[in-house]
């Protein structure tokens, strides 16, 4: 392998002169520059991007860190896949490399900080619904540029790009109210940790109030964004003395679990119980399911978040925090009908 030492020897200059030529330093005399460039061409020298990055304190690598609490991270899940596609597109467009890391189990901001500091990357795209304000401040102190994608925190110094979860929930409840439903239940995520879930609950309650309805406490059942929790929550709702005629699950996986539970109870989705999800994953429209849902634009989220991260890594001192909410869209399918 040809090294920078070989180039220096062949061109008859110092290693530091070769380095300055390779980094387009204009202080190098023209005749020396030409000698170095000629030696590079004749030897077929290719600069090591990592070594060069260490000298310049840049590696042109960004990291995508997925951190989730409670269950296994599956990168085949359309939610993750959509985020990764957008990040990869921006990384390639700007000639950045991509590092993917995952942290599951109990959410630990300190472990995330250790991971970030141990990796040689220019910046980190953080994907986790369990970030607290304290956890964010700890990560900001790591001095590595960080942008949140698909999640947010109320912290003035932090960049984030997320869906407009409040408005998305309003769309779901308004749709059910327009169909005539007065008894609407919600299956939430882990609200004490996830701002996304809290935003969706607040949006649901606001839309119900605006429609002259209320969502009583027994109609608000906690899930964990997993399919099994959606089924268990629905079983509890159907067992109520006055069960709901419609259910809004705060993601599609819980909605599909709810669908299974409704069928198991001998009822029909769209006729006996209306159902709305959130995300619009592929399974939502694949037989036997035809789920009305709130579509998140995963690619737009990851594209915008990745652009913000690269801008932040290039000039962190002049960067101003960017906070962006991407609009959602109501997708109507056969899981909703008028109440019987």
Residue found by looking up tokens 């594209």 in the block: 303
* Residues paired with 188 in a beta bridge: 222
- 3-class DSSP assignment, residue 279: strand
Same fold, 61-163+298-327 and 165-296: yes
Which residue is listed with tokens 């989705």?
269
In CATH terms, the fold of domain 4-47 is 434 Repressor (Amino-terminal Domain) (1.10.260)
Which sequence spans correspond to the domains of the chain? 4-47, 61-163+298-327, 165-296
Tell me the pLDDT band of 323, cut-offs 50, 70 and 90.
very high
| 199: nearest Cα among 291, 330, 325, 301 | 325
Please give the structure tokens belonging to residue 180: 């005539």
How confident is the model over 150-183, as pLDDT tens digits?
A: 888 877 888 999 999 999 999 999 999 999 999 9
Interacting residues of 41 by C-beta distance below 8 A, sequence separation 6+: none
The pLDDT confidence band at residue 66, using thresholds 50, 70 and 90, is confident
Region 61-163+298-327: CATH code = 3.40.50.2300
Q: Count of alpha carbons within 13 Å of 100, Cβ hemisphere only?
A: 11
Domain 165-296 has CATH 3.40.50.2300: yes
pLDDT tens digits, residue range 275-294? 999 999 989 999 999 999 99
């Amino acid at each position: 392998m040809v090294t920078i030492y070989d180039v220096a020897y062949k061109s008859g200059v110092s290693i530091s002169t070769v380095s300055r030529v390779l980094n387009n330093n204009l202080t190098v005399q023209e005749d020396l520059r030409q000698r170095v460039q000629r030696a590079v061409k004749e030897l077929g020298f290719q600069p090591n991007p990592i070594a060069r990055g260490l000298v310049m304190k840049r590696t042109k690598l960004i990291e995508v860190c997925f951190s989730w609490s409670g269950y296994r991270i599956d990168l085949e899940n359309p939610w993750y896949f959509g985020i990764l596609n957008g990040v990869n597109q921006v990384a390639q467009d700007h000639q950045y490399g991509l590092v993917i890391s995952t942290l599951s189990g109990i959410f630990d901001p300190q472990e995330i900080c250790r991971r970030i500091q141990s990796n040689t990357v220019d910046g980190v795209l953080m994907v986790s619904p369990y970030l607290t304000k304290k956890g964010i401040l700890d990560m900001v102190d790591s001095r590595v540029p960080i942008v949140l994608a698909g999640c947010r925190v109320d912290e003035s110094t932090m960049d984030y790009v997320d869906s407009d979860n409040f408005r998305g929930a309003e769309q779901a409840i308004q749709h059910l109210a327009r169909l005539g439903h007065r008894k609407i239940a919600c299956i939430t995520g882990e609200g004490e940790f996830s701002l996304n879930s809290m935003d969706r609950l607040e949006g649901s309650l606001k839309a119900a109030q605006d429609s002259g309805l209320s969502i009583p406490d027994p109609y608000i059942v906690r899930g964990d964004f997993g399919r099994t929790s959606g089924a268990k929550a629905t079983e509890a709702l159907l067992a109520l003395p006055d069960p709901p005629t419609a259910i809004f699950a705060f993601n599609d996986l819980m909605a599909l679990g709810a669908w299974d539970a409704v069928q198991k109870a001998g009822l029909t989705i769209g006729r006996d119980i209306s159902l709305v999800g959130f995300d619009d994953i592929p399974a939502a429209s694949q037989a036997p399911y035809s789920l009305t849902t709130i579509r998140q634009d995963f690619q737009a989220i990851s594209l915008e978040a990745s652009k913000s991260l690269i801008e932040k890594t290039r000039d962190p001192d002049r960067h101003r925090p960017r906070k962006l909410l991407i609009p959602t869209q109501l997708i109507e399918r056969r899981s909703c009908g008028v109440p019987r």
